């Protein structure tokens, strides 16, 4: 077969390079790109949010109803659930990476299914959203990373898509964030779109009159301490520790009115503001109104910011990032001082893919230079590397056919198969170059003999590695789908590169070396001398 194709080797080599490079670019554009492979471990973390200001007991009842409805959704395949309602107490040391709620209206729910639950991850999330939307119209659902690796990769983000709207004026920030939320809500594959921070949290505003306080001979500090003791605790205004001399342990002592006593605005108005005198109350020196305010202020340096988050449904992360970038550009001119930036995994994805592409190109350049030093010829090195386009094309085609994405695992598979394909090419080129120099064969005759002699070793290497990668590529077993893209990329790259090594590499070598001389190109050629024993 090689003898027949050698007659038009220039046409075949040119056609091979143009087709592989063009198809590789086409596949690279259309293939999905993710940070990590999509996995379905049967574990989920969900954030449940009722309208801002909902009381803690109402949120707790909602969580219990949700847990009850989960049994019917999963057909009693839930193994374990864990839920936390409301905010974490300030005196408890808890990592926000695991539990973080913004108020009494939020709850974090974690659940794990047993091994008999076979529902797809995206399918379950859509079913859960539809069920909750029907049972609890005011409930907002947002799925978050559950695996520790995903949490760390997210860099603190609770969703794959997070956009930070920062600036100086809170009104401008809120306006831009609302416009961005509306724009992202129109994207068909985005879910759970919304502003993460509570903006309209119900509050009771106490506006103190400094002139009245001064006329009554009081200080602003005294009034604020009285209000703090009745509405929260004295530990926020005056820290008091009592040391137990026997155990050498300190206890925090604080004054606090029990919550069920302060249950109306009238109770707040009747708060005494002078020690030992109940005649002076809060309403004498202050006006009390019911209002709303931001329930949480987030800052990045001196700037406040709001976070607009969203989840993906049946789409890769790169497509979601491109859609978000398009919506941001569609906002037009932003108010002065407002900055919109994509955060979380989306930002890390672009950096990681760029680094992997640079690393792959750098590896190819290093291999080229090493081969050039070994063969003492840049042209022969190019012939060896002619299998690399086939590796990339074969890996991308298999990933597209199997529905996998281009991620960290599949990139490692492409790099692995590149090394094996180069080794197969070296087997043919080294043997052909040796016969050309030692036996003075023509380049075409030498490479024909070399390809025939190295056919079995190349096939054995390829078949052995492909067979070894089949269990990994199948994705069977627990967390098998996490490493499946690596095996699929290796299989596709090796199969394509084997054909390239057996048919394209000999044609490239015969074309490149057809006018090569038998003289050594080295600056210090090896001189054969007779050796004599002394």
Q: Which CATH superfamily is domain 40-146 in?
A: Multidrug efflux transporter AcrB pore domain (3.30.70.1430)
C-beta pairs of 434-439 under 8 Å, 24+ apart in sequence: 436/513, 436/516, 436/518, 437/518
Q: Take residue 179 and report the two structure tokens written for it.
A: 């416009």
pLDDT at 263 (0 to 100):
82
Residues of the chain with CATH 3.30.70.1430: 40-146
Rounded to whole angstroms, the Cα distance separating 132 from 252 reads 43
Return the SS3 of 476: coil
pLDDT at 533 (0 to 100):
44
* Pairing verdict, β 303-312 and 161-167: antiparallel
Rounded to whole angstroms, the Cα distance separating 157 from 163 reads 10
Rounded to whole angstroms, the Cα distance separating 324 from 442 reads 59
Residues of the chain with CATH 3.30.70.1440: 157-193+300-343
Question: Is domain 2-36+349-512 in CATH 3.90.1150.10, yes or no?
Answer: no
Of 312, 349, 300, nearest in space to 164 by CA: 300
What does the DSSP 8-state code read for residue 8?
G
Of 189, 407, 403, 193, nearest in space to 312 by CA: 189
In sequence order, the 6+-apart residues with CB closer than 8 A to the CB of 499 are: 390
Q: What is the pLDDT of residues 475-520, one digit of tens each?
A: 776 666 788 899 999 999 999 999 999 889 888 888 888 776 666 6
Q: Take residue 80 and report the two structure tokens written for it.
A: 């374990």
342 has which bridge partners?
A: 163
Where the chain has pLDDT below 50, the residues are 528-534
Residues of the chain with CATH 1.20.1640.10: 2-36+349-512
Rounded to whole angstroms, the Cα distance separating 33 from 354 reads 12
Q: Take residue 129 and report the two structure tokens written for it.
A: 């959203």
pLDDT at 47 (0 to 100):
93
Helix pair 455-474, 484-499: axis angle to 10 deg: 160
Q: In Å, what is the CA distance from 511 to each residue of 13, 121, 279, 379, 391?
A: 9, 53, 106, 10, 22
pLDDT at 237 (0 to 100):
77
State residue 285 phi and psi, 5-degree precision: -125, 5
pLDDT at 517 (0 to 100):
64
C-beta pairs of 457-460 under 8 Å, 24+ apart in sequence: 457/427, 458/424, 458/427, 458/428, 458/498, 458/501, 458/502, 459/498
Residue 205 has a CB neighbour count (10 Å cut-off) of 12
**Residue that is written with structure tokens 């063969």 in the block:** 375
Residue 458 has a CB neighbour count (10 Å cut-off) of 21
Q: Take residue 472 and report the two structure tokens written for it.
A: 């990994």
pLDDT at 531 (0 to 100):
43
C-beta pairs of 400-406 under 8 Å, 24+ apart in sequence: 400/27, 400/30, 400/31, 402/473, 402/488, 404/37, 404/484, 404/485, 404/488, 405/31, 405/32, 405/33, 405/34, 405/37, 405/38, 405/316, 405/485, 406/28, 406/31, 406/32, 406/33, 406/34, 406/353
Question: Is domain 201-293 in CATH 3.30.2090.10, yes or no?
Answer: yes
Q: In Å, what is the CA distance from 479 to each residue of 42, 390, 474, 475?
A: 10, 30, 11, 8
Residues of the chain with CATH 3.30.2090.10: 201-293
Contact 103, 52 (CB under 8 A): yes
Question: Both ends of the chain: CA-CA distance in Å?
Answer: 54
What does the DSSP 8-state code read for residue 276?
T
Could you say which architecture CATH assigns to the domain 157-193+300-343? 2-Layer Sandwich (3.30)
């Amino acid at each position: 077969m090689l003898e027949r194709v050698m007659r038009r080797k220039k046409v075949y080599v040119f056609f091979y390079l143009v087709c592989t490079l063009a198809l590789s670019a086409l596949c690279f554009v259309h293939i999905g790109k993710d940070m990590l492979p999509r996995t379905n471990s049967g574990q989920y973390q969900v954030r449940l949010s009722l309208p801002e200001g909902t009381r803690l007991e109402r949120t707790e009842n909602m969580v219990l109803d949700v847990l009850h409805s989960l049994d019917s959704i999963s057909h009693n395949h839930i193994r374990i659930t864990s839920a936390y309602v409301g905010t974490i107490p300030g005196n408890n040391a808890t990592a926000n990476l695991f539990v973080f709620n913004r108020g009494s209206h939020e709850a974090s729910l974690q659940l794990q299914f047993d091994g008999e639950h076979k529902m797809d991850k995206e399918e379950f999330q859509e079913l859960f959203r539809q069920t909750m939307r029907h049972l609890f119209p005011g409930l907002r659902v947002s799925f978050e990373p559950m695996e520790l690796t995903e949490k760390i990769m997210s860099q603190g983000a609770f969703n794959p898509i997070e956009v930070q709207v920062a600036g100086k004026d809170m009104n401008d920030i809120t306006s831009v964030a609302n416009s961005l939320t509306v724009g992202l809500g129109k994207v068909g594959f985005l879910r759970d779109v919304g502003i993460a921070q509570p903006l309209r949290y119900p509050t009771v505003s106490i506006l103190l009159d400094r002139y009245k306080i001064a006329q009554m001979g009081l200080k602003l500090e005294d009034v604020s301490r009285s209000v703090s003791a009745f509405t929260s605790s004295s530990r926020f205004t005056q820290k008091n520790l009592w040391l137990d001399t026997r155990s050498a342990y300190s206890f925090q002592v604080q004054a606090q009115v029990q919550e069920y006593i302060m249950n109306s605005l009238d109770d707040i108005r009747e708060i005494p503001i002078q020690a030992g005198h109940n005649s002076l109350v809060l309403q004498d020196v202050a006006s009390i109104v019911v209002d709303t305010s931001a329930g949480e202020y987030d800052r990045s340096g001196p700037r406040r910011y709001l976070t607009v988050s969203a989840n993906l449904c049946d789409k890769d992360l790169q497509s979601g990032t491109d859609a978000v970038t398009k919506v941001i550009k569609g906002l037009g001119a932003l108010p002065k001082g407002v900055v919109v930036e994509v955060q979380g995994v989306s930002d890390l994805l672009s950096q990681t893919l760029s680094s992997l592409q640079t690393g792959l190109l750098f590896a190819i350049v290093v291999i080229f230079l090493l081969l050039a030093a070994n063969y003492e010829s840049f042209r022969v090195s190019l012939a060896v590397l002619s299998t690399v386009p086939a590796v990339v094309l074969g890996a991308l085609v298999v990933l597209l056919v199997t529905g996998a994405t281009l991620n960290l695992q599949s990139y490692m598979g492409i790099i692995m198969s590149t090394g094996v394909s180069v080794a197969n090419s070296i087997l043919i080129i080294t043997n052909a170059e040796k016969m050309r120099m030692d036996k003075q064969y023509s380049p075409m005759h030498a490479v024909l003999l070399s390809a025939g002699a190295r056919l079995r070793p190349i096939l054995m290497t390829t078949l052995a590695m492909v067979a070894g990668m089949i269990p990994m590529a199948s994705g069977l077993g627990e967390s098998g789908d996490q490493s499946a893209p690596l095996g699929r990329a290796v299989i596709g790259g090796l199969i394509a590169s084997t054909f390239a090594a057996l048919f394209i590499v000999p044609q490239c070598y015969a074309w490149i070396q057809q006018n090569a001389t038998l003289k050594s190109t080295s600056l210090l050629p090896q001189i054969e001398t007779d050796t004599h024993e002394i």
